[in-house]
Structure 1
């Protein structure tokens, strides 16, 4: 059975495992009825939090979640979804602007077959949009009863602090949670994001505790090619011939041996590690099949010894992300040369609260 933890300072308690729905739909498991069965199984095991997004399979994930919660199960679920990424072919159907948010939330409510969303999250930062614009729109949605709480995903610590400052100075609803990437192989958030979250009393619900499948038991030394469709689409994160990914393979071999010594699966070791950090509220698991779900459920019952945790630290030191591509977000001023070429253009592209 899962345990239940405080969701920041909201008074809400959610399960230590959150069911992530990214793999439901055409980009993962296209069988809607199978997706419904997986969701029902998770709920039956005590998981009371589900996380999805409007961009997951173009809204299909939200539709599957809506089907699963129809018929009386909605009231007992802490339901989270996200906006930001482009939905469909229209380039205007994206972003963190008020104009898109007020449309996106209604689309999500319709697909989810619900009158309210418990946690509505900005899926990624958007520096060219003033954060106050985003929080103003979200605050209105809270007052309208369409959403209960506001969250962010993969925000830098400075942006997290900015959100708290804006809420205080501008009278906006406060961001209450952050959803960052976190695993044994990607520990960068331990440097600032987690301490900042603790300082401001934010819930933290990290994604990818299995490092995109690297800690699922399928990866091992000697691998020479990607082993999934997602791996083929994202070679920077999964191509085993790249030095950063080769370092991940080495670490995975050592972690697999450690899990064997500890008498647990690598999957349980990986998820239990994430749950051990005192800043973590709930780890998002993203099964594609019922077997995947079953392999991950037991991790909530695992407690890692100090010796095991110290040996993990020796394999991947605290605060270390072996491959920077696994950080989930790179600010445009690092990836886009236009932000580094002088003049006024880059400054105008970045929304700065005054």
Structure 2
């Protein structure tokens, strides 16, 4: 029996596992009928929370989700999607501006074949856009009934606080959730982001709890390089021979041994670890196949013992990111040297 969890302070209840649909479409599983079957299996298992985004396979993921939720199923699903990424060549077909938000929400509603979106999320920060501009547009959509709640993804703690300040001081609808990267291999958000989310009563729905596949059980010392679409597209992040990934490979192997000793799969251990943190509401799983879904469905019912959690802390200390590539977002102040240096005279 699924034990549903409160979605922040909204009064909404969601399953501890959220079905992420990034892999439905040409980017992962191009078979719409098979993808719909996977979604239906997740819903039948007790999952009532589905997350997608406009940029997943250029909108095709939203179309698949719309097909799966057609009819009465829509009413019983908390449906989340996102905006921010580029959806065309026009420079205004992206970002966090009022102009784009008002246009793109209509596109997502059409693709999802629904009259409303439960959670509309800003997929990434947009420093070039006033946060009040973004929250103002999103607040209008709440008042129009097109969206129910506002969320963010991969925001810094200071940005989360800024959003709460804007809502209070300028009369905007409040951001109610944050979607950060979080796994045993990427624990950086434990330092400040998760305590800030708890302080403001935000729901937290982490993505990549399996560290992009590093915690699938396929990454072991002495094994061959695993192949996947992700490893093909992001070789630096997944190359087991790269020096910067040595710590991840060492940790993944040690965690796999620990999981075996605990009578669990590494997938179960990794998901149960994320769900153990009191700030976490629901962990996003992103299966491509029915088999992958089945290996993850029971993780929401697993509780790890204190001894196992202590062993995990020894393998990857709290608050530690083993690779900067797993943080999900690098602030412009770190990417753009001109933001760190005074203008030349």
TM-score category (smaller protein): over 0.9
Report the TM-score, using the length of structure 2 for normalisation.
Answer: 0.98
Deviation at 1:224, TM superposition (A): 6.0
Bigger drift between 3-12 and 233-242 goes to 233-242
Distance 2:101 2:334 in 1: 27
Give the match's secondary structure for 2:124.
coil
Deviation at 1:257, TM superposition (A): 0.5
Is 1:252 equivalent to 2:226 in the alignment?
no
Distance 1:116 1:232 in 2: 36
Deviation at 1:291, TM superposition (A): 0.4
Conserved 8 A contact 1:2-1:17: no
Distance 1:273 1:37 in 2: 28
Moved >6 Å (runs of 4+): none
Give the match's secondary structure for 2:221.
coil
Give the match's secondary structure for 1:284.
strand
Q: Which structure 2 residue ranges, 5 or more long, are not aligned?
A: none
The Cα offsets for residues 43-71 of structure 1, whole Å up to 9 and x where unpaired, read as 00000000000000000000000000002
* Counterpart residue number, 1:82: 82
Distance 2:2 2:89 in 1: 40
Deviation at 1:180, TM superposition (A): 0.3
Q: Which structure 1 residue ranges, 5 or more long, are not aligned?
A: 345-354
Is 1:174 equivalent to 2:174 in the alignment?
yes
Distance 2:89 2:263 in 1: 49
Gap change, CA 1:73 and 1:249, over 3 Å in 2: same
* Counterpart residue number, 1:351: none
Conserved 8 A contact 2:109-2:115: yes
Conserved 8 A contact 2:272-2:299: yes
Conserved 8 A contact 2:98-2:134: yes
* Counterpart residue number, 2:276: 276
Deviation at 1:23, TM superposition (A): 0.3
* Counterpart residue number, 1:56: 56
Conserved 8 A contact 2:205-2:282: yes
Give the match's secondary structure for 1:208.
coil
Is 1:302 equivalent to 2:302 in the alignment?
yes
Report the TM-score, using the length of structure 1 for normalisation.
Answer: 0.95
CA RMSD of aligned residues (A): 1.2
Query: Pairwise mapping of residues 103-114 of structure 1 onto structure 2 (< 5 A)?
Result: 103-114=103-114
Conserved 8 A contact 1:226-1:232: no
Give the match's secondary structure for 1:120.
strand
